[in-house]
Every structure is written in C-alpha cells, then in structure tokens.
Amino acid sequence: MSLFSADSSDEELPKQNVIKIVMLGQTGCGKTSIVMRFIENTFSETTSTTIGAAFFLKTVMINNEPINIRLWDTSGQERFKSLVPLYYRHAAAAVLVFDPSDTLSFTKLKYWQNELENNCERLPVIAIVANKADLNLNEQQKELILKAQNYAKQSQIQFFQTSAKTGKSIQDLFHYLLEQVLKQQQTQINKQKLEWDQPIVSNKKNTKDKNNENSTCC
C-alpha cells in the first residue's frame, strides 16, 4: 500500500452524497482486510502493512441515489501515528478496529475514541469492531470481546463482530455507518431549511412598533 495525502476536498465541510470514512486501529488487527472485503469481496492471508494510509472509493446506491464513499485506511504502525489525524479530521464516520487475540489492540480503542473526541470539530459516527470472528478464541480472548461490548454500550457506540476472512457482518457494518451519516446529514439539512423558512418576526414587530410610534392618536 502506498502513502496518500488527504486531498484538499477532504478539508471541506461534509457534502451530500459524499461520505468520508476512516479506519483506525492497531497494526495487524485487519483494517485493510475489512476494506478489501467491503470494496472487492476478497481476502488474503498474507497482507503487507499499510504505509501511511491508503485511499479507496466506492459508490453505492441508496434510495436510488449514488453515494460516494471515500474510505481512508490508515496504518496502525507507531511510526505513522502523527499522520493519522490528517485522515480522521472531517471524517463522517470512523471504524475503531481491534483483534481479540491481541490485547494491545483492545487497549487502543479508548485512545482512538479520545483522539476523535478531542480533535474533531464534529464527532464522526463511530463503530467499534472486534475483527477475526472466525478464530477459535480462548476464554481470555472471549472476555476481551465482552469488555469491548460493554465499553461500546456505555459509550453508546455500535459494536460489531466481523470477519474479513469469511465476510461476516462486513456489509452490516458499512450499512450501519452510511445509514447513520445520511440520517445526520438529513437532520442538518432540515434544520437549515427550518432556519431559512423562519419569518423575520423581530423586524416585522419593529416596523409595526415604529408605525405605532409614528401614528397619531385620535
């Protein structure tokens, strides 16, 4: 995977029909594999670590309208840590991935949530993902999934158990994110319309008051 930079259009406010999603998580948890399953419906046992970040585009039809997904797959490697904010800033949705067989990847969930809360002007729709659901987990690893589930519940974040290998819940994950983002965008548009439609009551009142002031009494 090659190094891409967040282009200037990513710095703009979210546009309708364009949804920016960012993948975050510890190296090796399966971010790129989830993306490849979603974009191309493929899986590889031997992947290369992502260098910096990789950019993917996918268009999906929702209610007969094309929705362009701009997907930023970041690297979980420490050496690229300083670049990651470039990709999550202005994201409409963020996927926080962990691998239940890697305790460190679980502890990083809180870190990513804090990063988003502290550095995003508008908090993206977040999903927590326990990937590699196809693995046979031991009791300790199962316990980690329960902890992540509880953490997500407390933080009111949607939780998914996916497998990039089998495809389990990958479509559900992205469907959820798109649905939530579109809902938010619609609420924002309705709010703006409502503000626009409001009659300018105060000015009218002033005019009336002025008229009253000027009118001479009988």
Q: Smallest distance from the beta carbon of 80 to Mg ion, in angstroms?
A: 10
DSSP code string of 132-159: -TTS---HHHHHHHHHHHHHHHHTT-EE
β-partners of residue 11 are none
* Residue at token pair 């009551």: 201
Determine the Cα–Cα distance for residues 111 and 175; give it in Å rounded to an integer. 25
- Nearer residue to Mg ion within complex by CB, 47 or 184: 47
β-partners of residue 68 are 18, 59
Of 76, 127, 128, 169, the one binding ligand GTP by CB under 6 A: 76
Q: Which residue is nearest to ligand GTP (CB)?
A: 30
- Nearer residue to ligand GTP within complex by CB, 113 or 182: 113
CB proximity list for 151: less than 8 A, separation 6 or greater: 109, 110, 128
- Nearer residue to Mg ion within complex by CB, 6 or 182: 6
Binding mask 121-160 for ligand GTP (x = CB under 6 A): ----------xx-xx-------------------------
- Nearer residue to ligand GTP within complex by CB, 129 or 177: 129
Integer angstrom CA distances of residue 156 from 32, 75, 149, 169, 214: 25, 26, 10, 19, 58
Q: Smallest distance from the beta carbon of 19 to ligand GTP, in angstroms?
A: 21
Query: Which chain residues interact with ligand GTP by CB under 6 A?
Result: 25, 27-33, 44-47, 49-50, 75-77, 131-132, 134-135, 163-165
